[in-house]
Structure 1
């Protein structure tokens, strides 16, 4: 895909197809600055996940981390980055809603919502349990802040992430969204299969190879429904909005080559799952396919929905009794078979139409 097909002038945004993304005709920012902005965004959004995964991977390699120190670093970093997220989000929203534009009440409502969401995320980051009443609510506030901040950062640099692009809502667009959601779930299935097979193959070598020795849900503490839901939404916000959408858009905006987009996105996915040990490299085909999907269609919402639906279904099937869990997984697989056939037919029809 050429650079021009990925980036279209902002003035022509309403004429852009689903495989295009709107950008300003000229950017006042250098490529180095855009890359630095992306690095800070990834750090803000993924600090807890990436830091914890790094510590867990080090433990699998035999490193002994002093528990109080790692907790203090994690809490201090989370608090500092939450302050940064609040200030950054407020700055971008205020800059996008100047006094001379828009209705006063709407402008103040948008600004107030940004401050409220960012403030709630900051309150959740206060050490010793935070100010919010439950960790689940804290994770949800973090997820909303991450998605909103990502959208604002991309818009500020002239790119629209494709949450609801022009032309959405038509029957053809709904079929396209269905196709994207199904293919996202297939990518998730490939990732789970790859990491699972690698874990089974390497577990006998756990003395010499870093590999997770317990189940993923036990390690992450996802043994109850509410933590499972909040963690799934948080993971979708981080992986889809930042590691996928922001990486593709901002690196393209910075003029980076296509291979660097795939490399950065796949590496971040593997890093976020480093608690699995060496089997985390099984996330590469999952991340690779998702980058291809996003660069082709430039639609983030169906990818978020497909990812969240799949993770919730798999997570729920592992929480409930064994027969019910098997039934859930069977229904998920059975429901994907006709969806795959419909998706393949739609893709073939679209390809035929393009050639005609």
Structure 2
């Protein structure tokens, strides 16, 4: 995998293959969540889905699991010939790829009882597949920073994660306000979800953590970073990249109802940061922190959420001050010398 500052540019057949792989990754990562979001949106309009619909949904999940099971080991095997890696690394990487693919496939069976472990492994495996696909094209999802000092690199990552968190806040706030407004006006033609955690099947803290891991793995690594990186390498214009990612991101939140349009800013901000800086880690951190805080506050009544936001803001401010002080200490010592 390349670590240069300049993004890879592919041409001809290589560009077409990268674009095809980007589309395949996008389908694998988003098809099941999109179906679930569509089912949730239909439920808002009192659509009664037949049992056959859920049967086909299960078949789609199994199909995704089968493709991932074969695609990931194939890429890892191609990347780990004996001439490039040691026998130990070769065996470790290949066994891990096969194991993750097998567990992801088993997780598609509702009777397999893998529970949260299966959910997490599925999300992480999709993210790993995205990394391997990008690597096979010489594309990196974590571009090397121009900062040579580890502390300065960490400071840069922190600032980017802070911006990601801000965009997540904007998108989440707009969607939340949209939900509240439509509830207030009680527009029959525009129903909205009752509770987001219930809509996505989160009933316990463990459910929340599993959903968080899958969200950042699928949305940030695959849908935003890998899709954008591969489309950029294939020479696609920015408007196509923004349209592709933003449409998928908004559609993934269709269970909100019409307020899902607020998630457009959620997608735009994260994608713009990745396209400009080429770093996926800040996306993961900012999104994960936002989802964690939101998931913990969401079960509370609205006025309790507002009260709880005060200590949360104080805690975040305190942590930020300590981090900024830690990042600034080496510079201050260097200036003193």
- Contact 2:162–2:286 at 8 Å: present in 1 too? yes
Which residue does the alignment assign to 2:61? Answer: 78
For 2:92 and 2:125, the matched residues in 1 are separated by 16
Matches of 2:80 and 2:237, distance apart in 1: 33
Question: Mapping of 1:64-103 within 5 angstroms?
Answer: 64-66=48-50, 68-103=51-86
Report the count of equivalent residues: 322
Q: Aligned partners of 1:211, 1:325: CA distance in 2, in Å?
A: 20
Classify the secondary structure of the residue corresponding to 2:298: helix
What displacement does 1:337 show? 5.2
* Equivalent residue, structure 2, for 1:293: 273
State the Cα distance separating 1:33 from its structure 2 match: 3.5
Residue of structure 1 aligned with 2:33, choices 29, 49, 63: 49
Name the structure 1 match of 2:333: none
Distance in 1 (CA, whole Å) between partners of 2:309 and 2:209 is 17
User: What is the distance in 1 between the residues matched to 2:206 and 2:238?
Assistant: 38
Conserved? CA contact 2:34–2:252, under 8 Å: yes
Residue 94 of structure 2 corresponds to: 111
Cα offset, 1:46, TM superposition:
2.1
Q: Give the alignment's TM-score, normalised by structure 1.
A: 0.82
Structure 2: gaps spanning 5 or more residues: 328-337
What is aligned with 2:188? 207
Mean CA deviation greater in 146-155 or 94-103: 94-103
User: Counterpart of 2:119?
Assistant: 139
Output the TM-score relative to the length of structure 2.
0.87
Deviations 1:53-102 (A, max 9, x none): 01222333454321x11221111111111010010001100001113221
Equivalent residues in 2 for 1:226-241, closer than 5 Å: 226-241=206-221
Which residue number in structure 2 is paired with residue 332 of structure 1?
312
- Residues 298-338 of structure 1 show CA distances to partners (whole Å, capped at 9, x for unaligned) of 11112201211221122122347989865653233334557
Q: Which runs of 5+ in 1 are unaligned?
A: 1-9, 347-356
* Alpha-carbon RMSD: 2.7
C-alpha distance after superposition, 1:131-180 (max 9, x if no partner): 52x2x111111111011001001111221111877967612111101101
Q: Which has the higher contact order (CA 8 A, sep 6+)?
A: 2
Tell me the residue number matched to 2:285: 305
Mapped partners of 1:255, 1:263: distance in 2: 15
Other structure's SS at 1:29 match: helix
Q: How far does residue 34 in structure 1 lie from its aligned partner after superposition?
A: 2.8
Does 2:111 correspond to 1:129?
A: yes
**CA gap 1:297/1:62 in 2 versus in 1, 3 angstroms:** same
Q: Which piece of structure 1 moves more, 225-234 or 252-261? A: 252-261
Task: Report whether the alignment pairs 1:59 with 2:71.
Answer: no
CA–CA distance in structure 2, aligned partners of residues 158 and 263 of structure 1 = 24
> Among residues 271, 276, 300, which one is paired with 2:251 in the alignment?
271
- Provide, for residues 12-47 of structure 1, a one-character-per-residue CA deviation record: whole Å limited to 9, x for no partner: x45x34xx44x3x75563544433322221221223
Work out whether residues 248 and 261 of structure 1, in 8 Å CA contact, stay in contact via their aligned partners in 2. Answer: yes
Q: Distance in 2 between matches of 1:191 and 1:210?
A: 19
Residues 1:58 and 1:229: Cα distance change in structure 2 (over 3 Å): same
Decide whether aligned partners of structure 1 residues 201 and 207 sit closer, same or farther in structure 2, where only a CA change above 3 A counts.
same
Provide the residue aligned with 2:196 in structure 1: 216
* Residues 27 and 158, structure 1, Cα contact 8 Å, conserved in 2: no
1:225-274 C-alpha deviation (Å, 9 max, x unpaired): 00010011101111101121012111112211111111111111101000
Q: What CA distance in whole angstroms lies between the structure 1 residues aligned with 2:16 and 2:141?
A: 20
Say if 2:10 and 2:235, in contact at 8 Å, map to a contact too: no
